[in-house]
Structure 1
Amino acid sequence: MRKIFAALLCAGILLLPGCTAPASDPSAPAAADWCGLTYEYSLPLTHADQFTVSYYKNGYARIDIADGSRYLVVPAGQDVPDGLDNGTVILQQPLDRIYLVATSAMDLFRAVGGLDSIRLSGTDADGWYIPEARQAMERGDILYAGKYSAPDYERIYAEQCDLAVESTMIYHTPEVKEQLERLGVPVLVERSSYESDPLGRMEWVKLYGVLLGCETQAEAVYQAELDRLSAIADQPDTGKTVAFFHINTNGSVTVRKSGDYVAKMIDMAGGDYVFSELSAQEDNALSTTNLQMEAFYAGAKDADCLIYNSTIGGELHTMEELLAKSPLLADCKAVREGSVWCTGQNLFQSSMGLGGMILDIHTVLTDPAPDPAALTYLHRLT
């Protein structure tokens, strides 16, 4: 896996910002004219497999997403071509009054300097761990327009929203999507969470670069992350084992399956995920599974490093807090040796921070006493 990772990084480094060569990936869109538009090239993608982009003459771009949805980005000043079927959603640039509901997308907009294009948010100011997003809401540059299941349609209509970026949670309330479309607001469902490769999740920054017309900047941002990771890509495995987990209120433990992106981040960092035998085919297609505490202890008791996931229940800061959830963990090797870490709650809104998380994991696996200031998304339990 690490050899493949290193090779893919090298392939990504060869892609220069603004490159217009056709993608060699066989899953990329066919090089063909479409609906009177003259095909030019496809957006090169190195890790993402949940979307593709085809470019046509005069700046048109067709986006195909793995759920079957299709979008045509029409440049400012250009007409919508004739003959499009009803399944193609038109996105007329400039897209500068966006209703952003998918929290994972905010950091991608931030990375390309696109917060000015977001007018409405599905998360209120105090729910953002991205400082720039919170500050924009406090200034009134971005307004709260209700969560995904209960949007403020009146505000959305009054603000002349030109695109709603939703998470897949919108599929639980299809009537909301239908109502937005009736108001003339096109809906794009964000699927970066379906990327099993963490680098693929970050590569969605290129899709938002297409929407905002800043592809070169998006490519540069993505390439910078690959460059950062190249420093550890060819290093040998550390030989250290890692468990990544969360303890639920009922005492069970949620862990990631082997195909999940977190398990792959651990591998890229030079670690060995202790629950690698849990495949995505077991029980269901979910990327996580719940274990009874005794089963988790059996798998994690000899792990060199424990990483607690703070996403749901909040951050832990002390061993006492961890052992209050399960005294059984006191006998774990990592607890005895003081190698227990917790993610910051900012991690899972920081879509462009996954590279930084890989580097953090590598640091705690290779440095027994890392400087806390050198870590971005992990802190040690004391």
Structure 2
Amino acid sequence: MVRRNIFIRVILVTLVLLLMLTGCKSQEKDEVISSQEDVEEAIKRNVDEDTGLVHIGEMELKYAKSFSVDYYEGGYKIITEWNGRKTLLIPEGKEVPDLKADINVIQLPIESVGVFATTAAAELRPLGLLDKITLVTTEMDDWHIQEVKEGMEEGRITYVGRNSAPDYELIQSIKPDIVLITTGTGHGTDEVAAKFDELGIKWISRGSQRESDPRGRLEWIKLMGALFDKEEEAAEFFDVQLKKIEEIEQKIANLEGQREKFASFFLANDIYYVRNKGDYEVKMLELAGGEYILSDLNPDQDGNSKMNAEELYKSIEDADILFYNNRLGRGIQCIDDLKSSAEYFADIKAVREGRVWGYKPHYFQHADRVADMIEDLYTIFTTPHGQITETEYFFLME
């Protein structure tokens, strides 16, 4: 359960109260008073200094490290984002407490939401919340989530411009209860968030991209659960996906022989961006049974490292399989494109054998299907070359 500390505290307080009310007749009055004082002192220790609310528990998170949710008496919640920014969620019909700190306040229930990333829509999908979306920053032709596309066609969902330069007046006219944005990326969204504050537009920062474990990224669905009072549904969905991943891990443990060595990268503006060993995508590929050939490339960092063609070639020359992210580096869509970027890439083992895999267009809009993606990758690693040319999320480049 997400509120793991609640039940223990409730039981303890209840037992003390029962002792106070039904204690033995021989119990001295000062002992009862002492018990009452103990209860009051325990409650006082759990009072949040900034809100005056009594803390009763926190959300259980197994992998996500970039957010937390704390629960308080009366149904109040506080979300803490990756940068320490706090948002107090006010239950329907409840008053805003006397705040002693700069805390953002959002009134529940949330009936309309703006989405500044397709991955946010994917996190809303398993909870049946796509109908809450009223504005987006991705154009209709680029959507692969049918419900969003239909909403735009029917006029229920409005495109408001790029996420780094949206139409603020249009957003104000739509009046979303909250906007889900991604901050701290260096792509202009921090300035957007500041403008939202100036205009009084409520927002929550998504930080799933900061998680170095794909299971941590998947767990961000629990944040959506907290926003929409669907914690139990979110936890259940996450546990089902996690079980699928654990089943794949068990299959891998039973495999005999050496693991396939892989590399993952893309080309943009004449620079090759190569996944660091500590990146979430490398972890996903490893969970699927692969062995990263660049095992010494920043094992404690997520994201990418920049390389030139020669550096990359020397690093991946003996790779069994290449995963080229053609959704980020769109200039390469086939093996000939890859060889054209540097002719000596033709000597890479995976290129010679035709084992270069690309990403299908809907890949990034299925952040809620991490287990299925890992299963796809497991299939790629364990199926003899030549027997399959595509999976649900990947395709073999020609």
Q: TM-score range with shorter-chain normalisation?
A: 0.7 to 0.9
Is 1:248–2:281 an aligned residue pair? no
- Say which SS state the counterpart of residue 254 (structure 1) adopts: strand
Instruction: Look up the SS of the partner of 1:351 in the other structure.
Output: coil
Q: Relative to 1, partners in 2 of residues 1:61 and 1:170: Cα closer, same or farther, differing over 3 Å? A: farther
1:21 alignment partner in structure 2:
4
Higher RCO (Cα < 8 Å, 6 or more apart) = 1
Q: Quick check: 1:122–1:144 contact (8 Å CA) kept in 2? A: yes
2:139 aligned with 1:156: no
SS of the residue aligned with 1:148? coil
Moved more, 364-373 or 333-342: 364-373
C-alpha separation in 2, matches of 1:370 and 1:352? 28
The reply to whether residue 212 of structure 1 matches residue 212 of structure 2 is no
Correspondence 1:268 to 2:287: yes
- Structure 2 gap segments, 5+ residues each: 7-44
Task: Please give the TM-score of this superposition, normalised by the length of structure 2.
Answer: 0.82
Q: Tell me the residue number matched to 1:13.
A: none
Residue identity opposite 1:122 in structure 2:
T
Between the aligned partners of 2:290 and 2:361, the Cα distance in structure 1 is 22
Distance, in Å, in 2 between the alignment partners of 1:64 and 1:367 is: 43
Query: 2:312 & 2:191 partners in 1: Cα distance?
Result: 40
Instruction: Tell me how far 1:272 sits from its aligned partner.
Output: 1.0
Q: CA separation of 1:357/1:316 partners in 2, compared to 1, >3 Å: closer, same or farther?
A: farther
206, 211, 231: which one aligns with 1:190: 206
- Structure number, greater radius of gyration: 2
Instruction: Name the amino acid aligned to 1:254.
Output: Y
Structure 2 counterparts to residues 27-38 of structure 1, below 5 A: 32-34=46-48, 35-38=51-54
In structure 2, give the amino acid aligned to 1:242: F
Q: What amino acid is aligned across from residue 336 of structure 1 in structure 2?
A: R
Is the 8 Å Cα contact of residues 317 and 380 (structure 1) preserved in structure 2?
no
Q: Identity of aligned pairs, percent?
A: 33
d(CA) in 1 for partners of 2:244, 2:112: 33
Corresponding position of 1:107 = 122
Q: How far apart are residue 351 of structure 1 and its match?
A: 1.4
For residues 57 and 129 of structure 2, what CA distance do their matches in structure 1 show? Answer: 24
Letter in 1 for 2:249: A
Deviations 1:113-138 (A, max 9, x none): 11122211122212223333222212
Partners of 1:170 and 1:176 within 8 A in 2 = no
CA contact (8 A) 1:242 1:274 kept: yes
Q: Secondary structure at the match of 1:119?
A: strand
Aligned to 1:5: none
**CA-to-aligned-CA distance 1:68-104 (integer Å, 9 cap, x gap):** 1001111111111113422x11111121222211332
Aligned pairs for 1:1-382 (under 5 A) are 18-22=1-5, 32-34=46-48, 35-86=51-102, 88-168=103-183, 169=185, 172=188, 174-234=190-250, 235-236=252-253, 238-250=258-270, 252-279=271-298, 287-314=303-330, 318-368=334-384, 369-372=386-389, 375-382=391-398
What TM-score, normalized by structure 1, do the two folds share?
0.85
| Residue identity opposite 1:32 in structure 2 | N
Partner-residue secondary structure (3-state), 2:262: strand
Tell me the equivalent position of 1:3: none
Alignment gaps of 5+ in structure 1? 1-17, 24-30
The residue type equivalent to 1:245 in the other structure is F
Aligned residue identity for 1:157: Q
What SS does the corresponding residue of 1:40 show, helix, strand or coil? strand
Q: Secondary structure at the match of 1:55?
A: strand
Change (3 A) 1:102 1:318: closer
**Cα pair distance change 1:92/1:170, threshold 3 Å:** farther
For 2:277, the aligned partner's letter is S
Inter-CA distance 378–92: structure 2 relative to 1 (3 Å threshold)? same
Aligned equivalents of 1:95, 1:64: Cα separation in 2:
18
Offset from partner CA, 1:228-249 (integer Å, 9 cap, x none): 1122212237521001111334
Give the CA deviation at 1:261. Answer: 0.7
CA distance in 2, matches of 1:175, 1:380: 40
Distance in 1, matches of 2:354 and 2:163, equals: 41
SS in 2 for 1:239: coil
Q: CA distance change for structure 1 residues 339 and 358 in 2, over 3 Å: closer, same or farther?
A: same
SS of structure 2 residue aligned to 1:303 = coil
Structure 2 residue matching 1:90: 3-state secondary structure: strand
Q: 1:370 to 1:84 in 2, by over 3 A?
A: farther
Q: Residues 62 and 320 of structure 1: is their aligned pair in 2 closer, same or farther, counting only changes over 3 Å?
A: same
Amino acid at match of 1:276: S
Q: Deviation per CA, 1:211-241, whole angstroms, max 9, x where unpaired?
A: 1111111112211211211222122375210
CA drift of 1:155 comes to 2.1
- 2-side partners of 1:233 and 1:153: how far apart? 46
Q: Alpha carbon RMSD of aligned pairs, Å?
A: 2.3
CA distance in 1 between partners of 2:62 and 2:143 (Å): 30
